[in-house]
Chains A and B, each alone.
Chain A
Amino acid sequence: MAFEELRPLWLVLRREYVQRVRSLSFLASTVAAPLLFVALAAAPALFPTARLPYPKHILVVCSTPGPARQIADAIRHWGVGRYRAEVTVGANPQEHERLIAMVRESRIEGFLWLDQEAIVSGHVVYMSRSGLDTVGRESLQTVVYRVLIRARLIRRGLTDGAINGSLEPVVVDTVSPPGMPGGTGDHGGIAVVAVTVTIITILEMSLLSYGIIVMRSVLEDKTSRVVEILLCSVTPRALMAGKILGIGGLSLTQVAIWGAMAAGGLTAAARMVGANLTGNLALGPGALAMLALFYVLGYFFYSSLYAALGAAFNSADEAQYWSFILTLPLLFSGMAAWSLFEQTDSVIALVLSLVPPLAPVMMSMRIAVGAAADWQIALSLALMVAAIYAAWTLSAHIYRVGTLMYGKKPSLREIARWLRYA
């Protein structure tokens, strides 16, 4: 780019940044979007409570009161599935039929049938209208298991003290060597997952949304017909670069704010569960710089393609199909990052992190968990730079011609022909 293009480029960059950073929509999306995201993520946890304004009523039926009471107490104590448990003694066929009728008539939610045979065989039936959710089933199974084990051990003559000692919970801590991700403490793995998921989500959302902002900015120039006035003062190349850099600066501002908010939130959450985030992650200054670099390169790659879309078409509606196509690699890399989260050292994870459209998310994920070797990062960077050069060259050609083309929606063949125009 020639020296005399730099000042107009700077002016375009400054305008794109300043007018957008001062807008209400930026403030709203920067502050409200993460809060909305957290609210949406947390909302499902509130659904069962909302569905059940009062505890469900279940009966624990047993031939003898001891085990049934222990189970009812444990259910009350643990709040298993938010059930209110009552004990009924007398596990006989008539009672069984009566309870089935009560379930049918919705007078109770269900009943746990603990006759002598069930206690001996260890096969207990819980009959209800709607069954149990996964957590509820697991919890109920644990409660029943512990009570029946205790009953069996008592029958074999063990004392309460001996039984309690035997049933002491076992804690398994997952630790990694110092300096490796995963860290120490039982919440180290959770911290890595939380931080990495946060990074992937921010990267994916930001790359997607800011690519579309670049496209809309180019479309605004074109549809408002201001572009020809601008092109009389600034080259198409400098205009496109100014837009991409200005909006890129805006995205970095937002990502930095989101990152700070996420770091604050995660640190607070980590303190609550007793985890040490800084000790658990491979995110030193070097890794953070690499994440920022991959984000910036990813932004350049996608935004230059989105700029071409904005230049080629006459409205966001016309560009919608190709805009959707462009989102696919980002969506795919997000899904791949999730599914390969525990296989970050695998060949497929490595290959995907080298493919330029997928690298910003995939390589960031691997860097965050410390699974990327230096040579892999270097190779991925080199491929990204080459891909950006190709995308930029292609987009600059389309931009130069497309911004002055009004009228009917161009076909792919027409756009390909533009590449030959001077």
Chain B
Amino acid sequence: MRALELKSVRKSYDGVVAVDNLSLAISRGSIYGLLGPNGAGKTTALRIIVGILMPDEGAVRIFGEPFERRHLKTIGYLPEERGLYRKAKVVELLLYLGELKGVPRTTVQGRIVELAERLGIGAALTRRIEELSKGMEQKIHLIAAMINDPQLLILDEPFTGLDPLNSALVVELLVELKRVGRTILFSSHRMDRVEKLCDEICLINRGTSVLEGTVPELKARFGGRRVRVVYRGEAPFPNHNGSIESRTNGADTVELRIRPDADAQEVLRTLAASATIISYETVEPSLEEIFIEVVGT
């Protein structure tokens, strides 16, 4: 069963289309990455999923059912535009947010302590929000998003404000959540995190999906055209009949991007004619390179 489905969702403001015919299907127990440049429509899409905005067209299905507000009890949400009451005490605020989610007070209390200990901020619970560091505040946001033990966790830029150690802690937590069957949808500009964490991704641009699939699928789709050459001899290499699109030179290496219609073996032969080739291998593109390639076109 799909944890979340978006079917042809559209949302516009005064003729400006924020989300256009967007469809997603997220499997239960998976981690799904929603990527896109600034203003691509990610936040609008997430707001539609959690019922803060209503789509002009299309449908949202949660665990196979059309979205209703009662589903929010099973959803955790960490918005990009987030903040907390500065004067409030951490524990009181989390109790309030937990009860708003419909969780009994006694259950919320236990959950707060458990999550705070897990994220290493147990001592901060009695302090006021204004007394916390930015990183600790981020962890409080994460606890707030997970306070109802959600089946579907939606995180908009969850790594903002976290140092590498705390980012690793959060990654570990997300992996653990996935292991126990929770579904996670998150958007991020941190491509390294997305690449390591996500089972599937969707890249949206100008409100519409431009790329979707598992990370290996996408890499395979965009791979094979990039080769790394370790050489000895003269450089740079000639642009053999225009079959090389671009190159990135290193000390004794060069990364070449060859045209889709070019013959890699022919390129190798040409290179071997001007230098001694130590190694010649195809390189998988990083998600960031795929992102730039797709969005940049």
Residues of A that sit less than 8 Å from B by CB:
4, 7-8, 11-12, 15, 19, 220, 223-226, 228-235, 404, 406, 417, 421-422
Contact = CB atoms under 8 A, between A and B. Distances in A.
Given A4-B69, A4-B70, A406-B81, 8 more contacts: A8-B100, A226-B83, A226-B85, A228-B52, A229-B79, A234-B100, A235-B69, A422-B54
Contacts, number: 62
Contacts of B269: none
Nearest to B52: A231
Contacts of B144: 229
Interface in B43-58: 47, 50-54, 56
Of A220, A231, A235, A417, most buried by chain B (CB within 10 Å of CB) is A231
A391 B277 CA distance: 78
Contact of A11 (B51, B72, B100): B100
Main secondary structure of the interface of B (DSSP, over half): loop
Contact of B96 (A7, A11, A232): A11
A224 B84 contact: yes
A232 B75 contact: yes
Nearest to B81: A225
A195 B53 CA distance: 50
Contacts of B84: 224, 226, 229
Contacts of A225: 79, 81-83
Contacts of B157: none
A411 B36 CA distance: 30
A406 B85 CA distance: 17
Interface string B3-21: 0000000000110000000
Contact of A421 (B13, B70, B101): B13
Given A229-B79, A233-B101, A15 B96 contact: yes
A230 B88 CA distance: 15
Given A229-B97, A230-B100, A224 B86 contact: yes
Nearest to B70: A4
A10 to B, nearest CB: 10
Contacts of B81: 225, 228, 404, 406
Contacts of B141: 229
B141 to A, nearest CB: 8
A8 B69 CA distance: 12
B79 A233 contact: no
Contact of B99 (A4, A11, A417, A421): A11
B102 interface: yes
A228 B79 contact: yes
Contacts of A220: 85
A242 B57 CA distance: 30
A8 B99 CA distance: 8
B77 interface: yes
B50 A229 contact: no
Given A11-B100, A225-B82, A232 B69 contact: no
Contacts of B88: 19
Contact of B52 (A12, A19, A232): A232
B273 to A, nearest CB: 59
Contacts of A232: 50-52, 72, 75, 77, 79
Interface string B135-165: 0000001001000000000000000000000
A225 B75 CA distance: 19
Nearest to A5: B69
A233 B150 CA distance: 13
Contacts of B51: 232
A229 B147 CA distance: 12
B54 to A, nearest CB: 5
Of B72, B83, B86, B99, most buried by chain A (CB within 10 Å of CB) is B83
Nearest to A421: B13
A220 B84 CA distance: 10
B72 A228 contact: no
Contacts of B14: 417
A417 B97 CA distance: 32
Interface string B110-151: 000000000000000000000000000000010010000000
A417 B88 CA distance: 35
A422 B56 contact: yes
Contacts of A226: 82-85
A233 B52 contact: no
> What are the 3 tightest A-B residue pairs by CB atom distance, in nearest-first order?
A225-B83, A233-B100, A228-B79
A7 B14 CA distance: 34
Contacts of A224: 83-86
A411 to B, nearest CB: 13
Contacts of B54: 422
A47 B70 CA distance: 66
A234 B69 CA distance: 9
B72 A233 contact: yes
A402 to B, nearest CB: 13
B165 to A, nearest CB: 25
Contacts of A8: 100
Nearest to B147: A233
Contacts of A230: 97, 100
Contacts of A417: 14
B97 A233 contact: yes
A268 B81 CA distance: 56
9 contacts: A4-B70, A12-B100, A223-B83, A233-B72, A233-B101, A404-B52, A404-B81, A406-B81, A417-B14
Contacts of B100: 8, 11-12, 230, 233-234
Of A15, A224, A232, A421, most buried by chain B (CB within 10 Å of CB) is A232
Nearest to B98: A233
Nearest to B129: A224
A229 B77 contact: yes
A406 B84 CA distance: 16
B256 to A, nearest CB: 44
A15 B92 CA distance: 10
B250 to A, nearest CB: 44
Contacts of B50: 232
Nearest to B78: A229
Given A232-B75, A417-B14, A7 B102 contact: yes
A417 B79 CA distance: 25
Contacts of A406: 81
A224 B169 CA distance: 26
Nearest to A220: B85
A6 to B, nearest CB: 12
